[in-house]
Amino acid sequence: MKISLNWLKRYINLNQSVERIGEILTDIGLEVEGIDKVESVKGGLKGIVIGQVKKCIKHPDADKLSLTKVDIGESDLLQIVCGAPNVGEGQKVLVATIGTTLYTPEGESWKIKKGKIRGESSEGMICAEDELGLGNDHNGIMVLPEDAVIGTAASEYFELEDDYIFDIGLTPNRSDATSHYGVAEDIAAYLKINSDDSIILKDFIGEEFEVDNKNINIEVTVEDKDACPRYSALTFSNIEVKESPEWIKNLLKSIDVRPINNIVDITNFILHAYGQALHVFDADKISKNEVRVKCLPEGTPFLSLDGKERKLNAEDLMICDGEDNPMCIAGVFGGLNSGVTDSTTNIFLESAHFNSSSIRKTSTKHLLRTDAAKIFEKGSDPNLTIKALKKASNLLKEYAGAEVSSDLIDLYPVKIEPKEILLKFDNANRLMGTDLPKDEIVDILHALGMTTKIVDENKVYVYVPTNKADVTREVDVIEEILRIYGFNKVEIPTMLKTTIHNHEHPSARDIKITISELLANNGFNEMMGLSLAESNWYTEGHENFVFINNTSNVHLDIMRPDALYTGLESVSRNINYQNTDLALFEFGRTYLKKDDFIEKDFLSLFISGKEGVKSWMDASVREIGFFDLKKSVIRILERLNIENYQVSEIEENPQYGYGLKFHRGNISIVEFGKLAPKSLKPFDIKQEVFHAHFHLENVIQAVKKTKNSIKPISKFPSTSRDLALVIKHSVKFLDIERLTKKTEKKLITDIQLFDVYKNDEHLGEGNKSYAVKFVFQNLEKTLVDKEVDAVINKLIKVFGKELGAIIRK
């Protein structure tokens, strides 16, 4: 947001330096991101002086040129060849002396040089107003009044004043600072409290109002009163569309607003001066002399001011005529066929207060971030509409010859009153870190335009003006007090207080660091997904979602209920950038709402693509699969020393094609598997993706319950035996592993599946063969074959009885 210093000075006397004003703006919460100096006239009229034409004769070789002698207050007269038809003796004129730089209307510079024109010497230039940037007239030279003093610098004569533009990073909550007058109010409050209590705000645009006639009667109906709590308007007749006065054009240009004509410029001036958006309609184009504020059916076409046809959404608030033809997107953008043209003589001027959420949704959906929309979406002042109309009325009368042709129209069914907030003085001092007297706190509130009513020695009711849409709680009022008191005046305490915090080891942070280091060392990259998600990614469970009013991106309308889809968004983005071989992990939190809000921490893994890099040294590249993910999952659990968990297949979870769950009873530790195509479809991912979801809180609890022990490395050798088991397809290796550990807990230290063989002809239909290696070791002695064989025989019987396994020989 751009703020003009010259514009501010129209409301408040500011004698401080530009740098100090910048500091004050920052102190009151309006962060100054830059200060630019703007010359009121390009070049500042340097080298331009007032002269008097002492002699003027026709050029001997050119009828349209004149030879002049000009006195600029120096000892010698200047001879200047002039081509203007209106030059004459005795005139006071503006002279560009030799060496002066002038600028074309396009901003290109050129320098005045001594030279000859048609054989006659010329020592300068007598200037027209457009050549100096003082206007657009080029019909002749600029002739000054007779009392103009010869030799006076033009910059001094015209009292030119350079402007300074403050580029302010306005935060979304500062609805009260969207205009120059609003900023001036804040500066005045600051100066009253911190330097000069005699500071007075002034307003140079009056609010006198008088109806000239009642020739234009337009009926207004507001159908959606929630989206439009207040609608005010006024009609004018016999207007003349022409160029705006210089002071309005200069103020608008200083903040990069292009002047158009007097009607449009006056509405833009009111917008940036007072923070009230106005919209002008050609009254003769309003069908049936009726205005309807309503929403139109989904997909209704609307031809906007930029010549584009836009398809409306059903929730877009529109300003329509008596036949429901859309004339304007309320508070956002005008229509091509209802605005002011050079031939317009009668206008309907709208001054309304629209619901901030409604405007924000519409402006973001249509990508129309107009100045009006930015003000409405922050929360405009509902009690400013009539005041703005009266000010605009005075300007239109003065600069467009307008006649007020109706009474004020004001549809305001439920008046919005100042908010009443109870403030406790001790709370204010505690949160600000100050010890301000009660009277000083009340003075600050009054300086901010808030009224008060004392309750008792520690409490006061504060009545917040309706232009401060963000001030709704006691803490907001305290923030306002601190802004004006001054952040830099809060003393830094000399004593540092801290509390010794004792927590169990390992902490959740320690566990996360351990996992992060492990994964990073094994080729994973950490990612960070948004905590926001789109509800339309999910086909069920909406009743438990935590919906939010996200005005910046309406599609991201829920807090993420799981880690899957925000992670897949990162996977999709990487794949779209040709980074197809992925190993990603993320620590985050999910959000659901049942009886209460539920937040759960998670660790998620995603792998996809190929493993290995194809090169002349090693051409072995393979597709990443389920067992690569399983290896990573088990590696994490082993690193954390989590053992003795149950293994189940994932059932009735449509997100996975297949997968496993590690759990202890009903407490789930991790689910992982291959994602189903329907999970990948919203992100247009074609390659296989494998995903693991760790319930981090359960993992942390499992780690804390684990009792770590140290065992010596055995001095005795290990031995192994292999079994080829013919089993049904339904039997899993996990079943074999579970039965082995149950049968022999002491001697068997490792179980490995090293081959899978399937052949219905050799093995029988529905059978497969698992080749399993069993590793034996005793910490106390060397095992003999008799001991190992006894365990193997026992296993063969258990496998046969429990799994129907047959030993393949």
236-268 tens-digit pLDDT: 999 999 999 888 988 898 898 999 999 999 999
Specify the pLDDT at position 439. 93
Residues 6+ apart with CB under 8 A from 381: 175, 275, 276, 353, 465, 466, 467
Residue pair 693/604 in contact (Cβ under 8 Å)? The answer is yes
Closest CA to 297 of 322, 319, 315, 321: 315
- Mean pLDDT, the chain, integer: 90
- The top-scoring range by mean pLDDT among 52-66, 171-185, 346-360, 733-747 is 346-360
Residue pair 372/412 in contact (Cβ under 8 Å)? The answer is no
Specify the pLDDT at position 617. 61
Residue 226, judged by CB atoms within 10 A of its CB (0-12, 13-18, 19+), counts as exposed
For 752, list phi and psi in degrees, rounded to 5.
Answer: -130, 135
Over 70: is that where the pLDDT of 340 sits? yes
| 171-175, 327-331, 353-357: range with lowest mean pLDDT | 171-175
Structure tokens at 425: 């003085």
Walk across the sheet containing 163-168 and list its strands.
2-4, 163-168, 32-38
Specify the pLDDT at position 572. 94
Residue 257: alpha-carbon gap to chain centroid: 22
DSSP letters, 751-792, are EEEEEEE--HHHH-TTEEEEEEEEEE--SSS---HHHHHHHH
DSSP letters, 231-295, are EEEEEEES----PPPHHHHHHHHHTT-----HHHHHHHHHHHHHS--EEEEEGGGSGGGEEEEEE
Q: Are strands 546-547 and 32-38 parallel, antiparallel or unpaired?
A: unpaired
3-state SS class at 483:
helix
Rounded-to-integer distance, Cα 511 and Cα 505, Å: 9
pLDDT band at 759 (very low <50, low <70, confident <90, very high): confident
| 540-554, 649-663, 792-806: range with lowest mean pLDDT | 540-554
120-151 tens-digit pLDDT: 899 999 999 888 888 777 889 999 999 999 99
For 703, list phi and psi in degrees, rounded to 5.
Answer: -65, -45
For 589, list phi and psi in degrees, rounded to 5.
Answer: -140, 140
pLDDT band at 159 (very low <50, low <70, confident <90, very high): confident
Rounded-to-integer distance, Cα 348 and Cα 238, Å: 12
Q: Which helix (H) or strand (E) holds 460?
A: strand 459-464
Q: Are strands 597-608 and 582-593 parallel, antiparallel or unpaired?
A: antiparallel
71 CB neighbour count, 10 Å cutoff: 17
Rounded-to-integer distance, Cα 612 and Cα 615, Å: 9
196-206 tens-digit pLDDT: 767 888 888 88
Residue pair 332/373 in contact (Cβ under 8 Å)? The answer is yes
Closest CA to 281 of 235, 227, 242, 343: 235
Secondary structure letter of residue 105 according to DSSP: T
Rounded-to-integer distance, Cα 351 and Cα 408, Å: 11
What predicted TM-score, i.e. pTM, was given to this entire model?
A: 0.63
| 131-145, 217-231, 281-295, 654-668: range with lowest mean pLDDT | 131-145
Closest CA to 567 of 595, 606, 541: 606
State mean pLDDT over 689-703.
94
Specify the pLDDT at position 676. 93
Where do we find the tokens 């020989």? 809
* Helix 180-194 / helix 262-274 crossing angle, nearest 10 deg: 30
Rounded-to-integer distance, Cα 223 and Cα 737, Å: 71
652-675 tens-digit pLDDT: 888 999 998 999 889 999 999 999
Closest CA to 599 of 562, 630, 631, 565: 562
pLDDT band at 706 (very low <50, low <70, confident <90, very high): confident
| 226-235, 700-709, 731-740: range with lowest mean pLDDT | 700-709
Specify the pLDDT at position 613. 61
3-state secondary structure 178-218: CCHHHHHHHHHHHHHHHCCCCCCCCCCCCCCCCCCCCCCCC
Rounded-to-integer distance, Cα 121 and Cα 467, Å: 65
| 64-68, 331-335, 438-442, 501-505: range with lowest mean pLDDT | 501-505
566-603 tens-digit pLDDT: 999 999 999 999 999 999 999 999 999 988 899 999 99
Specify the pLDDT at position 286. 95
279 CB neighbour count, 10 Å cutoff: 23
Rounded-to-integer distance, Cα 253 and Cα 805, Å: 89
How many CA atoms within 13 Å lie on the side-chain side of 683? 26
Rounded-to-integer distance, Cα 683 and Cα 606, Å: 15
Rounded-to-integer distance, Cα 727 and Cα 805, Å: 5
Closest CA to 601 of 591, 613, 616: 591
Residues 6+ apart with CB under 8 A from 328: 279, 281, 318, 319, 334, 335, 338, 350
723 CB neighbour count, 10 Å cutoff: 17
pLDDT band at 557 (very low <50, low <70, confident <90, very high): confident
DSSP letters, 625-665, are -HHHHHHHHHHHHHHTT----EEEE--S-TTEEEEEEEEET
Structure tokens at 662: 């590690």
Where do we find the tokens 């608008």? 252
3-state SS class at 58:
strand
How many CA atoms within 13 Å lie on the side-chain side of 153? 9
Specify the pLDDT at position 491. 85
The vertex-205 CA angle with 202 and 208, nearest 5°, equals 115
Residue 391: alpha-carbon gap to chain centroid: 33
Residue pair 58/66 in contact (Cβ under 8 Å)? The answer is yes
Length of the chain: 809
Please give the torsion angle defined by the CA atoms of residues 474, 475, 476 and 479, in that order, rounded to the nearest 10 degrees: 130
Residue 17: alpha-carbon gap to chain centroid: 32
Rounded-to-integer distance, Cα 94 and Cα 142, Å: 7
Closest CA to 282 of 359, 222, 338, 200: 338
183-197 tens-digit pLDDT: 999 999 999 998 876
160 CB neighbour count, 10 Å cutoff: 15
50-97 tens-digit pLDDT: 999 999 988 877 778 999 999 999 989 999 999 898 999 999 999 999
Residue pair 463/450 in contact (Cβ under 8 Å)? The answer is yes
Residue pair 478/667 in contact (Cβ under 8 Å)? The answer is no
Rounded-to-integer distance, Cα 96 and Cα 93, Å: 10
Over 80: is that where the pLDDT of 106 sits? no
Specify the pLDDT at position 492. 82
pLDDT band at 109 (very low <50, low <70, confident <90, very high): confident
State mean pLDDT over 737-744.
89
Rounded-to-integer distance, Cα 614 and Cα 607, Å: 19
Cis geometry, peptide bond prior to residue 506 (ω within 30 degrees of 0): yes
3-state SS class at 690:
strand
370-389 tens-digit pLDDT: 989 989 988 899 999 999 99
Specify the pLDDT at position 487. 85
Specify the pLDDT at position 699. 93
Specify the pLDDT at position 219. 95
Rounded-to-integer distance, Cα 251 and Cα 270, Å: 11
| 381-385, 452-456, 680-684, 729-733: range with lowest mean pLDDT | 729-733
409-440 tens-digit pLDDT: 999 999 999 999 999 999 999 999 889 999 99
